Structure 1
């Protein structure tokens, strides 16, 4: 839940995000930041395949980690207006279980359903991209961070109810549809073959400063016979993928992973 607020987003200087999807051949798009005043198409969703973000883009360099996204970067185009004011500017994020990477391929498809159930990470009743510069990355610090799993696809939604003046840069990936645009109140839109140039920044890892929980070993059998199979589990396991365990044989004290 976010309270309505007027925001002039401060920006110090153009900078490359720590992780981004691509910075390749591109085209300028108006939705949702620069539609004509009478245009109601003010919502767009982008779908990024698993492991789409890296330190050098296009999968090169270091892959983006799992962690808390604190800042979203968007690449803006030539048409900019630092004084443009957007109403109800909203950023939502979500993830798709599995490996869905696009909305199919081919010509643009109408009446394609938007993703629902996304998390609102930023909202301002009025919003301006203060200090914006043409064809540069523009960072927006989220009011509420988003826990990101790089093994799942990421959904980014940008929307507003009014305002125009700043184009964004998309990359057209042949006929692969990774963008849905439409009415900000609609449940469906048009799926098209492009993706926003997008960057991510994460919160630094939090140092461990708490007392560890007991990790007693539990067995599915109280008596063990030679040749039998015994399944072992932990009483208070950590989050999968974050801890490493070793099992110890009490009789010979040999460590077995």
Structure 2
């Protein structure tokens, strides 16, 4: 039976994806920020195999999370769902940009990697020059472009892995707010589909999806030199190298 690890699955889209996968009889390991949230996650997602806890704003805790995940060893798919929105630039950079980089590097390669970006990445800029000097300039939109850069670098460098990114839409979660206009169910269906589907159109690497269809994205993310510079800077900041 396929096993799937979902970051940020204590609530929101991560929790909904976890429930959908468990309903389809997949084994799911949850992730939450701390022990209290972890217990709440287990209570709210009956049937989960377990929960791993780590605060993704901490490089050290994120590195430890990778070790915990590897101790459960190997996953068929990992959904990089965790993200923060209306918080400080420092937190956005740590959780949205650096954490998925660290986990991608350190967790044993799954067959499929799914990264949650956002339509807001279209307004984002790489701002790689700010990584080591002034992360206060990095916005949510920038961080979601970083996620796409990471995904496309993985797709290019690891041909044996299906690595894809998606826009879940502006959906009514705690992050999106009650007035968000997009369909909540469609918001988590694409990551579930990319993690499990045997359809040929899901067994690809590098595209950017919205509601199970390829959609427009910032083509700066296709620049291999930019991808490599991004990986190099993340390595310098975290001390974690990208396994070629």
TM range (shorter): under 0.3
Question: TM-score under structure 2 normalisation?
Answer: 0.23
Larger Rg computed on CA atoms: 1
In proportion to residue count, which structure has more strand? 1
